[in-house]
Structure 1
Amino acid sequence: MSTRSIAFMFPGLGDHHVGMGLELYRTLPVFREQIDRCAAFLEPELGVDIRTLMHPQSAPPPLPASAGKKLDLRRMLGRDGRAPTPEESRLNETRNAHPALFVLEYALAKQWQAWGAEPEAMIGYSLGEYVAACLAGVLSLEDSLTLVARRALLVESLPAGAMLAVMLSEAQLEPLLGGHVSLSAVNGPEFCVASGSPEAVQELQTRLRDRGAAFRRVQSSHAFHSNMMEPIAGRVTDLVRGFARHAPKIPYVSNVTGTWITAAQATDPAYWAAHLCRPVRFAEGLGALTSQALLEVGPGQTLSSLVSPAPARIVVPSMRHALDPESDTSVLQKATARLDGLEKESTAKRPFTKTEQELAAIWQAVLKCEAPALDAHFFQLGGNSLQATRLLDRLSKTFRVRLPLRRIYEVPTLELMAAALDAPRSGSFPTRSSASPKSVNGSLFRLPNGLSIAHQNEAETRHFYDDIFAHRSYVKHGIRIPDGGCVLDVGGNIGLFTVFAHTEAKNVRIFTFEPAPPLFEIIQRNVAQHGIRATVFNVGLSNLECEAPFTFYPHSAGMSSFHPNEAEERHNLQTIIENQRRSGDAAVDQIGEHASELLDVRFAATTFDAKLRRLSDVLREQNIERVDLMKVDVQKCELEVIEGIDDADWPKFSQIVLEAHDEGGRVGKLVELFERRGFSVIAEQDALYVGTNIFNIYAIRKGS
Structure 2
Amino acid sequence: MPWVLSAKSTAALAEQAARLRAFVEQRPDADPKDVAYSLTATRASFDHRAVVVGAHRDELMSGLAALSSGTPAPNTVTGKAAATGGIVFVFPGQGSLWPGMAVELLDSAPAFDAQMRLCDAAFAEFVDWSLLETVRGVGLVSMDRVDVVQPVLFAVMVSLAAQWRALGIQPDAVLGYSHGEIAAAYVAGALSLRDAAKVVCLRSRAIRAIAGTGGMVSIARPVAEVFALIEPWTQLICVAAQDSPSLTVVSGDATVLDELTIVCEREDVPAMRIPVNYASHSAHVEALQEPLRELLSGLQPRTGEIEFISAVTGAGIDPSILDGDYWFANLRQPVLFEQAIWWSYEHGYRTFVESSPHPVLVAGIHESLQDCRNDHSVVGTLRRNEGGMSRFLLSAAEMHVHGTSPNWQSIFDDAGACRIDLPT
Matched-pair contact (CA < 8 Å) for 2:86–2:350:
yes
Structure 1 residue 440 corresponds to structure 2 residue 407: yes
Q: Is the 8 A contact 2:281 2:331 kept in 1?
A: yes
In structure 2, relative to structure 1, the CA distance for the partners of 1:171 and 1:328 (3 Å cut) is: same
1:23 maps to a residue whose letter is E
What code does the residue aligned with 2:93 have? G
Distance 1:248 1:181 in 2: 37
Question: How far off is 1:16 after superposition?
Answer: 0.8
Matched, 1:286 2:314: no
Equivalent in the alignment of 1:314: 377
Q: Which amino acid aligns with 1:187?
A: D
Q: Which moved more, 1:171-180 or 1:124-133?
A: 171-180
Partners of 1:173 and 1:344 in 2: how far apart?
Answer: 37
Query: Is the 8 Å Cα contact of residues 3 and 119 (structure 1) preserved in structure 2?
Result: no
Aligned-partner Cα distance in 1 for 2:317–2:392? 29
Q: Does 1:273 find its partner at 2:328?
A: yes
CA offset at residue 557 of structure 1? 5.2
Map 1:100-249 onto structure 2 (within 5 A): 100-160=152-212, 161-177=214-230, 178=233, 179-249=235-305
Structure 1 counterpart of 2:149 = 97
Q: TM-score, normalised by structure 2?
A: 0.71
- Offset of 1:111 from its aligned partner? 1.4
**2:160–2:355 CA contact under 8 A, matched in 1:** yes
Match of 1:101, SS state, is: helix
Check conservation: 1:102, 1:128, Cα contact below 8 A: yes
Question: Matched residue of 2:242: which SS?
Answer: strand
Alignment check: 8 A CA contact 1:3 1:116 kept: no
- Tell me what 2:91 maps to: 10
Deviation at 1:165, TM superposition (A): 0.7
The structure-2 alpha-carbon separation of the partners of 1:15 and 1:230, relative to structure 1 and needing over 3 Å to count, comes to: same
State the distance in 2 between where 1:340 and 1:97 align: 32
Per chain length, whose mean CA-contact separation is higher, i.e. which structure has more relative contact order (CA < 8 Å, sep 6+)? 2
1:300 — aligned with what? Answer: 358
Q: Deviations over 1:464-522 (max 9, x none)?
A: xxxxxxxxxxxxxxxxxxxxxxxxxxxxxxxxxxxxxxxxxxxxxxxxxxxxx6417xx
Deviation at 1:190, TM superposition (A): 2.2
Contact 2:300 2:323 in 1 (8 A): no
2:318 to 254, 262, 268: 262
Q: For 2:209 and 2:160, locate their aligned partners in 1 and report how far apart those are by CA, in whole Å.
A: 30
Shift of 1:56: 1.4
Distance 1:37 1:344, change over 3 A: closer
1:278-307 deviation line (CA, Å, top 9, x unaligned): 111111111112222211101111111112
Which amino acid counterpart does residue 301 of structure 1 have in structure 2?
A: P
Name the CA distance, whole Å, in 2 between partners of 1:213 and 1:53.
38
User: What SS does the aligned partner of 2:302 have?
Assistant: coil
CA distance in 2, matches of 1:26, 1:231: 42
| Unaligned runs of at least 5 residues, structure 2 | 1-39, 41-82, 419-424
Paired residues of 1:195 and 1:223 also in contact (CA < 8 A): yes
Separation in 2, partners of 1:253, 1:31? 24
Deviation at 1:142, TM superposition (A): 1.0
- The SS at the match of 1:224 is coil
The Cα of 1:172 is off from its aligned counterpart by: 1.6
What is the rounded CA distance, in whole Å, between the counterparts of 2:333 and 2:278 in structure 1? 14
1:210 CA drift (Å): 4.1
1:340–1:441 contact (8 Å) kept in structure 2: no
Percent of residue pairs identical: 26
User: Quick check: 1:184–1:193 contact (8 Å CA) kept in 2?
Assistant: yes
| Contact 1:174 1:183 (8 Å CA) reproduced | yes
Report the equivalent of 1:33: 114
What secondary structure does 1:217 align onto? strand
* 1:519 and 2:385 correspond: no
Distance 1:136 1:263 in 2: 9
Distance change (3 Å), C-alpha of 1:37 and 1:189: same
5 Å-filtered alignment, 1:373-412, equals none
| Distance of 1:3 and 1:297 partners within structure 2 | 20
2:123 equivalent in structure 1: 42
SS in 2 for 1:164: strand
- Cα separation, 2, equivalents of 1:244 and 1:344: 34
Task: Write the letter of the residue equivalent to 1:328.
Answer: G
Letter in 1 for 2:343: A
CA distance in 2, matches of 1:164, 1:106: 27
Query: How far 1:340 moved relative to its partner?
Result: 2.9
| One-letter amino acid of the counterpart of residue 43, structure 1 | A
Tell me which of 14, 22, 43 is aligned to 2:103. 22
Alignment deviations for residues 644-698 of structure 1 (CA, whole Å, 9 cap, x no partner): xxxxxxxxxxxxxxxxxxxxxxxxxxxxxxxxxxxxxxxxxxxxxxxxxxxxxxx
Q: Is the Cα contact below 8 Å between 1:11 and 1:299 reproduced in 2?
A: no
C-alpha distance in 2 between matches for 1:327 and 1:137: 26
User: Who is 1:339 aligned against?
Assistant: 399
Measure the CA separation in 2 of the matches of 1:344 and 1:149: 34
- The structure with the larger Rg is 1
Change over 3 Å in CA distance of 1:327–1:94 after alignment to 2: closer
Whether the aligned pair in 1 keeps the contact of 2:309 and 2:316 (CA below 8 Å) is yes
Say what the alpha-carbon RMSD is for the aligned residues. 2.7
Pairing of 1:521-540 with structure 2 (within 5 A):
none
Change beyond 3 A, Cα 1:16–1:330: same
What letter corresponds to residue 339 of structure 2 in structure 1?
E
Q: Contact 1:259 / 1:288 at 8 angstroms: preserved in 2?
A: yes
Greater Cα shift, 104-113 or 4-13 = 4-13
Retained in 2: the 8 A contact 1:99–1:149?
A: yes
Pick closer, same or farther for the CA change 1:29–1:156 going to 2, 3 Å.
same
Kept after mapping to 1: 8 A contact 2:102/2:387: no
CA distance in 2, matches of 1:13, 1:298: 10
1:9 deviation in Å? 0.9
Distance in 2 (CA, whole Å) between partners of 1:46 and 1:132 is 21
**1:142–1:214 distance in 2 versus 1, CA, 3 Å:** same
- Give how far 1:237 is off: 2.7
Aligned residues between the structures: 326
The 1:3/1:332 distance shift into structure 2, 3 A limit, reads farther
**1:95·1:149 contact (CA, 8 Å) conserved in 2?**
yes
State the Cα deviation string for residues 355-389 of structure 1 (Å, max 9, x = none).
xxxxxxxxxxxxxxxxxxxxxxxxxxxxxxxxxxx
SS of 1:157 mapped into structure 2:
helix
CA offsets per residue over residues 55-101 of structure 1, 9 Å max, x none? 1149xxxxxxxxxxxxxxxxxxxxxxxxxxxx8x8112011001000
Q: Distance in 1 between matches of 2:190 and 2:276?
A: 28
SS in 2 for 1:137: coil
Q: Deviations over 1:540-567 (max 9, x none)?
A: xxxxxxxxxxxx6x9x756xxxxxxxxx
Give SS of 1:216's match. Answer: strand
Secondary structure at 2:361's aligned position in 1?
helix
**Which is further off, 23-32 or 176-185?**
176-185
Residue equivalent to 1:77: none
Question: Which SS does the other structure have where 1:231 is aligned?
Answer: helix
CA 150–219 in structure 1, closer or farther in 2 if over 3 Å, else same: same
String of CA shifts for 1:35-55, please: whole Å, max 9, x gaps.
112112213421111112111
Instruction: Give the TM-score normalised by structure 1.
Output: 0.44
Letter in 2 for 1:282: F
